[in-house]
Amino acid sequence: MTAAGYLGFKLRIGRDPIGTELAAAADLRRAFPALHLMADGNVAYRTHDALRVGRALHDLGFGWLEEPLPTDGYVGYEGIRARLPLPLAGGESLQDRRSAREALDRGAFDLVQLDVSICGGIGETIAIGGLARLAAVAIHPHACNGAIGLAASLQVLAALPDTTRLPNDSPMLEVDFGPNPARTHLLARPLPFRDGWFTIPTGPGLGVEVDEAFVQRFDRA
């Protein structure tokens, strides 16, 4: 992972006992003291467990805890946000600016993770970015799908207001390590990546070209 140039790593937690996962998180921090670490709670916790996990991750120097509670309306998020020293992230299932504004007005997140393929596209994502800017909330787009979603998210990152970006003006693109041909083989030319940074394509549209031969092979499989 670090040899490939990645500067940050997000853990998926909430599947194993809390003590086991926190011990693994501590081991990872000791092994990679300079790596930017984050954790996705996968809606796995009740409030008291979310607070326990979030406080422990804060002590380990993690960057944020993502969606530890159920995401239906993001009920209760503002309550644990007020009690956590660690930034609380969420919002990938928000579907439009109305629901995003309601969550932002309640103070549900320190960092909102809009998914361009869910919340209405690039224009709607940028519009919600303006609302987040007014609320002093950062945006880290959720993009754990195929190459087209990644390309669209790169364009979003280039257009977001500066004050909605992550600390030190370093916008981040989420990339899944799991096997996914729609991410690794869909494009005629992979998204350019070097030393931890993607170059935003500058061609027409999203700046990428679909490998039509792959699509035809994949469709017949």
What is the set of active-site residues?
142
Q: What amino acid occupies position 116? A: V
CA separation for the pair 139, 4 (Å, rounded): 25
Residue 201 DSSP class: P
Cβ atoms < 10 Å from Cβ of 165: 18
CA-atom Rg of the chain in angstroms: 18
Cα 126 to chain centroid, rounded: 16
* CA distances, 148 to each of 116, 119, 175, 215 (Å): 10, 15, 12, 13
